[in-house]
Amino acid sequence: MRDFYRILLALLISLTAFQATAQLTENSPYSRFGLGDLYPSGSIRNIGMAGVGVASPNLEYINFLNPALLPTNRRLNLDTTIKYTMFEGALYGVGRSISDGALKQQSKSVNFQYLNIAFPVSNRWTTSISLNPYSNMSYDYHSGFDTAGLAVSTSNIGTGGLYTVNFANGVDLTRNFSAGLTASYVFGSTNEEYFTQLTSLDLSVQDQKYGINQRTSYSGFNFKPGLAYRNIFKTAVKEEEEHIYYNLGATYDFSGGLTSRRELTRQIRSNLNAVNEDTIISNTKMHAVLPSKLTVGFSIDKPVYWSVGVDFTYLSYSKYKNFDAGIDNFKNGYKIALGGEYKLKGQEVMKMPILRAGLSYQKTPFYFNGTQLNDFSVSLGGSIPVGRKDPRYKSKPLSRLNIALVAGQRGTTNDGLIRDRYFQVYLSFQTIDKWFERRRIE
């Protein structure tokens, strides 16, 4: 438990430090549409492999990309008489460079990524509880012109996002086949402002802003079932070696329904952003529908030592419904990702660092000026064991520091579009320990 407290303290210190940098604001122009930019749904391990993981089990990590893989931590090499609990917390930083071909702007930010805990209920059943961001809206547009002795400037600013609290369960149905289900409560809000400022020699109108404040809140449930199959691909020649396995996996995120409320407020602000007039012009409620997502995957692995996998994801906006769904003009999209991991050789398996890499290509749902935007990225990652080995439990993996780096580009400067180049850094702390052990009195 001491390792857990040290890592939790380090995580809290990191969160406090990053909170001090809250003035760093990401400017992601395409987050203006829909619910904002969607966050990756996997762990730092998955992100380091370009998001691969729906069919990539690993006994040393929480496999929450596919709930059917949760029992992996019990099924592989760990002593099944010991019930280990896994905890992981993660942070995310991004730097962006956006350009329309003539102008360029850079921005950066640091955000919370997830908190996750997984614990075995029985030898076949594992449960996970997590808090994850679902989407992020962060854009800032400014323009201006002069007319009839007036300087006119406009600003469009959007902030906010959605989060999910997830309750996932995975069960081994047979020796080779497992199933799982993730139930998520989705909540959050976005805030968008559209303001015009007039500046002239007339002091009565100078530095006055006139515009609309639009706040939209969301809440509701969503569900994701998952399946996984694992079998021997190549039998080990020597008895002390591990077999090589192949894995199949699939998940489906349903088109979850959300209750959505939008309030439009007309405002007049001074140059200090003080609200001089605040008038509600509408307050509307509707039933929003999230886009559905199907992911299938295949991987080959030698437990603990290496893994290579490929995932295909199909994102459907055919049932997507929101206040601006007609204006946003989304198309169905897809993503192909290839990635793997390799544990560096050393004297003790549990103390070896791990290297990861992957690449992905995505046809995003964004569609503008007759062009559907592409997104290509390359990922690198790794894990470093930290702490000391517990002599009582020789099979227990050490706590780990995990990192993933992602560099990519979305969009292009052709056809009047915006090119979005990004560099993302993900960092997490993970610990494995016995939390729910019944004390014995001798």
Distance CA 134, CA 38 (A): 6
**Chain segment 397-412, per-residue pLDDT in tens:** 678 899 999 999 998 8
Distance CA 292, CA 253 (A): 5
What pLDDT is attached to residue 18? 46
CB atoms within 10 A of CB 50: 32
What pLDDT is attached to residue 77? 42
Q: Let me know: does 256 contact 186? Beta carbons within 8 Å.
A: yes
**Chain segment 232-274, per-residue pLDDT in tens:** 988 877 665 678 999 999 999 998 889 999 988 888 876 655 5
Q: Let me know: does 180 contact 238? Beta carbons within 8 Å.
A: no
Q: Record the tokens describing residue 169, joined without a space.
A: 């369960």
Q: Let me know: does 408 contact 375? Beta carbons within 8 Å.
A: yes
Q: Record the tokens describing residue 432, joined without a space.
A: 């494995």
Please state the rounded mean pLDDT for residues 88-107.
88
What pLDDT is attached to residue 272? 57
Q: Would the pLDDT of 73 be above 70? A: no
Distance CA 290, CA 365 (A): 13
What pLDDT is attached to residue 436? 56
Q: What is the mean pLDDT of the chain?
A: 83
* 206 — pLDDT class (breaks 50, 70, 90): low
Helix, strand, coil distribution of the chain in percent, nearest 5: 10, 60, 30
Q: Let me know: does 429 contact 12? Beta carbons within 8 Å.
A: no
Could you write out the DSSP letters of every residue in 2-70? HHHHHHHHHHHHHHHHHHTTTT-----GGGGSTT-EEPP-S-HHHHHTTT--TT---TTS---SSGGGT
What pLDDT is attached to residue 78? 47
Q: Which of 9-13, 70-74, 307-311, 384-388 has the highest mean pLDDT?
A: 307-311
* 420 — pLDDT class (breaks 50, 70, 90): very high
> For the ranges 73-87, 169-183, 184-198, which has the lowest average pLDDT?
73-87
| DSSP category for residue 396 | P
What pLDDT is attached to residue 13? 47
What is the CA angle 278-281-286, rounded to 5?
Answer: 125
- Block residue for tokens 């040290």: 6
Q: Would you state the torsion angle of the CA atoms of residues 109, 110, 114, 115, taken in this order, to the nearest 10 degrees?
A: -160
- Helix (H), strand (E) at residue 328: helix 325-328
Q: Which residues of 167-197 are buried (b: 16+ CB within 10 A; e: fewer)?
A: ebbbbbeeeeebbbbbebebbbbbebbebeb
Please state the rounded mean pLDDT for residues 12-35.
64
Residue 283 vs residues 114, 214, 215, 288, 326: alpha-carbon distances, Å: 32, 10, 10, 15, 19
287 burial type by CB count under 10 A (0-12 exposed, 13-18 middle, 19+ buried): exposed
Q: Record the tokens describing residue 365, joined without a space.
A: 């749902």
Share of the chain above pLDDT 90, in %: 40
* 12 — pLDDT class (breaks 50, 70, 90): low
Q: Would the pLDDT of 413 be above 70? A: yes
| DSSP category for residue 83 | -
> For the ranges 43-47, 76-80, 345-349, which has the lowest average pLDDT?
76-80
Q: Record the tokens describing residue 344, joined without a space.
A: 């560096």
Q: Which residues of 120-157 are buried (b: 16+ CB within 10 A; e: fewer)?
A: beeebbbbbebebbbbbbbbbeeeeeeeeeeeeeebeb
Distance CA 424, CA 109 (A): 10
